[in-house]
């Protein structure tokens, strides 16, 4: 009885937080939020078991997993070109098509039995995923005032975290009973459903009176490009070896990794909206600088302490702090004319992947030679290099007109 009452109290608390976070939202933003939920639910079903699938089912070693991360990031390099080719389509159509491709790619993970086949489906899913990243932010920012951009993106992150909790919880409960391949199929279907749902957002959303440039690289946004370049070089490396080390070095199984991801999702759900509110309150300069310093400390902890529980705690902290990368999107939203927002965010993803591809492949080659501790130290060092640039952020009172 007490367990049921506790569960009801938790459920009421989560509903209350969501009601508060989404107060005043229109139907189009609610549709986008539902899409975020479906996509995160789908990803949650397989995110917690992906490393175990690579290591236990496909027999990959640490080097191959890190190289696969580099392969996965290659489509991000071509995002500027892909974005230019589909720029004339409505924003909601581009977003929906990206999710459908992403869902099909992830569902195909279940069919692979070789490294070459895995690399092929990874690229398919990655093309959709890397288009979804800037387009989802652009669509959200097109639906809200600039003054509440941070808290709204934070609320969407919280909704995604809640869906991830549910997905990873289901995976953790069923990982023993079902083949791991099943979760990729179910997750892919949910992502495709999210892609179909987003077509309900009117095609006029995100359409500007001025024509959007197909490709855009401007000196005005150099600081954004530098910060996103560092973002790719450090976090793609850690995202690959963070859970890999827990599986290979400390023997955590699929259920334990899923439970860890559930805990991480709960922490993100509880705090993501508050972090987004902090962005609106104190600005990107302070928020990003503090987050970079804390991220560096977490990675130093990962490098120096050899205890599975401690490393799990560091992983949870890192996953929370990474949500503040939305500050790069809100920064561009504050300084860019509306017609330059989407192409600038797309260019940012390509710049990000100049470093993330190379660093993932380099880390895969170095992991066996220097160990994961040295990689963690390297990632911490790259984060510290970001701090002076974050301190240079200045936001004008009004965004300049497009040249």
Rounded CA gap, 288 and 291, in Å? Answer: 5
Rounded-to-integer distance, Cα 192 and Cα 211, Å: 30
pLDDT in tens, the chain (403 residues): 444 454 455 455 555 555 545 555 788 889 999 999 999 999 988 887 887 888 888 888 877 887 787 788 777 766 667 766 777 788 889 899 999 999 999 999 999 999 999 999 999 998 999 888 888 888 888 887 777 777 888 788 888 888 988 888 888 788 788 888 999 999 999 999 999 999 998 888 766 545 555 556 778 888 988 898 888 766 656 666 677 788 878 888 877 887 888 888 888 888 877 887 888 888 889 999 999 999 999 989 988 998 989 999 998 998 888 888 888 888 888 888 877 777 777 777 777 777 777 776 777 677 777 888 888 888 888 889 999 999 999 877 655 554 4
Comparing CA positions, the residue from 47, 71, 51, 73 lying closest to residue 60 is 51
Q: Give whole-number Cα distances, 211 to 95, 216, 318, 319, in Å.
A: 19, 13, 39, 37
8-state DSSP, 58: S
Measured CA to CA, the distance from residue 317 to residue 356 in angstroms comes to 21
- What span, in angstroms and rounded, lies between the C-alpha atoms of 185 and 100? 13
Per-residue model confidence (pLDDT) at position 249: 82
Report CA dihedral (197, 200, 203, 207) to the nearest 10 degrees. -70
Helices (H) and strands (E) in the chain, counts: 15, 0
| CA separation for the pair 311, 242 (Å, rounded) | 9
* Residue 61: predicted pLDDT: 80
DSSP 171-186: HHHHTTTS-HHHHHHH
DSSP 298-348: HHHHHHH---HHHHHHHHHHHHHHHGGGHHHHHHHHHHS-HHHHHHHHHHH
- Structure-block tokens of residue 384: 């510290």
List, in order of start, the domains of the chain with CATH numbers.
21-204+214-390 (1.20.1250.20)
Cβ atoms of 57 and 198 closer than 8 Å: no
Q: How far apart are CA 42 and CA 48, in angstroms?
A: 11
* pLDDT (0 to 100) of residue 171: 85
**pLDDT for position 207:** 67
Model confidence, pTM: 0.69
Q: Which of 375, 379, 224 is nearest to 295 (CA)?
A: 379
- Decide if 287 contacts 151 (C-beta within 8 A): no
The pLDDT value given to residue 403: 47
Q: Tokens 């902090």 label which residue?
A: 278
Give alpha helix (H) positions in 25-90. 27-47, 50-52, 62-77, 79-85
Please give the Cα distance from 20 to 67 (Å, whole number).
42
Kindly report the CA angle at 58 between 57 and 62, in degrees rounded to 5?
110
Q: Compute φ and ψ for 45, nearest 5 degrees.
A: -65, -30
């Amino acid at each position: 009885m007490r367990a049921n009452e506790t569960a009801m109290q938790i459920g009421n608390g989560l509903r209350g937080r969501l009601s508060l976070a989404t107060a005043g939202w229109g139907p189009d933003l609610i549709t986008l939020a539902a899409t975020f939920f479906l996509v995160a639910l789908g990803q949650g079903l397989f995110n917690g078991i992906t490393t175990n699938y690579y290591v236990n089912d496909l027999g990959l070693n640490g080097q191959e997993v890190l190289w696969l991360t580099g392969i996965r990031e290659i489509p991000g390099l071509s995002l500027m070109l892909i974005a230019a080719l589909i720029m004339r389509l409505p924003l909601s159509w581009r977003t929906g098509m990206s999710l459908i491709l992403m869902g099909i790619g992830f569902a195909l993970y279940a069919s692979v039995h070789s490294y070459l086949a895995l690399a092929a489906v990874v690229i398919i899913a990655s093309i959709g995923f890397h288009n979804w990243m800037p387009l989802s932010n652009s669509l959200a920012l097109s639906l809200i005032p600039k003054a509440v951009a941070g808290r709204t993106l934070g609320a969407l992150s919280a909704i995604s975290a809640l869906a991830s909790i549910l997905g990873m919880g289901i995976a953790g409960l069923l990982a023993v009973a079902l083949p791991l391949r099943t979760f990729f199929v179910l997750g892919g279907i949910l992502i495709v459903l999210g892609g179909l749902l987003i077509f309900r957002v009117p095609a006029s959303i995100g359409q500007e009176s001025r024509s959007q440039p197909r490709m855009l690289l401007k000196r005005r946004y150099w600081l954004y490009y530098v910060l996103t370049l560092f973002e790719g070089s450090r976090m793609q490396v850690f995202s690959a070896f963070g859970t890999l080390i827990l599986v290979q070095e400390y023997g955590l199984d699929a259920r334990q990794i899923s439970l860890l991801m559930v805990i991480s999702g709960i922490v993100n759900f509880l705090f993501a909206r508050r972090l987004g509110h902090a962005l609106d309150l104190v600005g990107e300069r302070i928020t990003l600088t503090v987050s970079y310093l804390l991220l560096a400390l977490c990675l130093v902890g990962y490098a120096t302490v050899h205890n599975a529980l401690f490393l799990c705690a560091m992983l949870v902290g890192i996953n929370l702090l990474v949500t503040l990368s939305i500050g790069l999107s809100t920064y561009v939203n504050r300084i860019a004319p509306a017609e330059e927002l989407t192409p600038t965010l797309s260019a940012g993803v390509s710049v990000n992947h100049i470093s993330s591809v190379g660093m993932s492949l380099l880390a895969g080659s170095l992991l066996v030679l220097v160990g994961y501790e040295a990689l963690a130290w390297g990632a911490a060092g790259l984060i510290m290099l970001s701090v002076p640039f974050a301190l240079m952020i200045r936001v004008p009172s009004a965004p300049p007109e497009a040249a």
